Amino acid sequence: MQLPAQWQVGIDRNSEVLRGHAQLLATFIAPRPASPDTATPRGQIAAIVSTTRSQPTLAARHATQTLTRINQANDRLCAITRLLPARAAADAARVQAALAGGSDGGALAGVPFVVKDLFDVAGQVTTAGAVVRAQCAPASRDAAVVQRLCDAGAVLVGTANMDEFAYGFATVNAHYGTTANPHDHRHLAGGSSGGSAAAVAAGLVPFALGSDTNGSIRVPAALCGVYGLRPTHGTLQLEGVFPFVDALDVVGPFANSVADLRRVYEVMHGHALRSCNVANLRIARLGGWFQRNLDPELDAGIGALLTACNSSTLVELPEAERARAAAFVLTAAEGGHRHRAALSTHGDQFDPATRDRLFAGLQLPASAVADAHRFAHWFGAAMQQLWDDVDVLIAPATPCVAPRIDQDTIVIDGLPVSARANLGIFTQPLGLAACPVLAAPLSRPGRLPLGVQLIAAPGREDRLFALAAQLERDGLLAFSAPPETP
């Protein structure tokens, strides 16, 4: 297709980055396989559910108070893109009617929440953070996971800001604004689910939904100092969720305690998690790639977690740098092809940063994409072998605290690189393996948050919640309310 000449500089720059990742994958030769030889604290959600059940009219009051809080705070945060007062009133009325009829109202009775603006909400346009979708037909029904939450009594009050088409780690949106970090409004919230994370961190809602392809839940959870879960790939329904990369996309919740995160996830999943004895878990730290470019305070914090777990085990994730390269290539290629029609007819309506990366992905040779798929298959199998010797891995979620909004770059390997594209250097490799990952904040009240990733074998979210709850009880992991919480 014929492109405006002024676009070519940005496209060429992104193509050069992709060529570097592609070259790394092209030189990969798979190694030959070796020869065989206590109770969690109650969360905020439990308190809301309890009071709503004892006084059903509180469902409407909780919703109204939440909408008021958002109205008061959102000009500074830019976390919420759309308020839904009529929807919130209807959801609250349904909870009140259920309680009046003798029901318990559900596990989330009367609890307000928001969703990233790529979940379908009945009667609303799903923008996915893009003005090019503003004229699309409204959704005819809620996304499957949204419906499940509302069936359990949750009250939807709004949609949350995000990077355009979820392509970024910053929630810098050229159309809907940049989401600020509640701990310091001069800093980024992270992305691409930054609006959801910031809304929870600022105390606007008890929980929120996001999506995670390369780290879009884990990065903002870490930078905003809340808990976030990337479940096992394929566990939760994606019906009614705007897609990005089919092999990597998942959806998950944010909350400000382990108990709240678990409660929401169990509703989304439809089943209670099995019990897990933390004392029996084999815990290790990810080394190599995951120890480079690391904030010294984060390095020390991870060391403290290992000490509390009585572990000094260091595990090397095989080919982590190539895993990141493969995720980078697959994302650019599939994203580019997914948006090809809109790029060709309405390219001027895209954020230039998003547009240039998508065009660069379109220009990737088929051989580079095939190399990425080939590597991803090998990497998934190699990662699976780790679980023979360890139950939970601990790694950093981001290399540093949230950068300032006016700071476009972070330093990786001694060089300034785009923060928007590189805050996920520790999250991207893990998406290839389909593993569940729980992002959790280190306890550091009064300072910008730093977060870690707890990683387990596919289907073993129970281990993540058990360990996170224990570390929370020990005071090593904790949500700290920002100074400007409404």
Residue ranges and CATH numbers for the domains of the chain are 44-320+381-473 (3.90.1300.10)
H/E stretch holding 341: helix 340-346
Residue 100's nearest CA partner among 146, 45, 59, 147 is 59
Residue 423's nearest CA partner among 250, 167, 207, 79 is 167
pLDDT for 37: 35
H/E stretch holding 314: strand 314-315
**Does 140 qualify as catalytic in the annotation?**
no
Residue 457 phi, psi dihedral angles, 5° rounding:
-65, 155
Catalytic residue among 15, 116, 211, 257: 116
**Does 103 qualify as catalytic in the annotation?**
no
pLDDT for 145: 99
**Does 216 qualify as catalytic in the annotation?**
yes
Conformational region of residue 394, where left means phi above 0, alpha means psi within -120 to 50, and beta covers everything else: beta
Find the helix packing angle between 144-151 and 258-269, rounded to 10°: 110
Catalytic residue among 15, 196, 216, 418: 216
Spans in the chain with pLDDT lower than 50: 33-41, 485-486
pLDDT for 30: 63
pTM above 0.85, yes or no: yes
pLDDT for 31: 58
CA angle 294, 422, 455 (to 5 degrees): 60
H/E stretch holding 303: helix 296-308
Largest Cα separation within the chain, whole Å, is 66
Conformational region of residue 349, where left means phi above 0, alpha means psi within -120 to 50, and beta covers everything else: alpha
User: Helix, strand or coil for residue 172?
Assistant: strand
Catalytic residue among 192, 196, 443, 480: 192
pLDDT for 26: 75
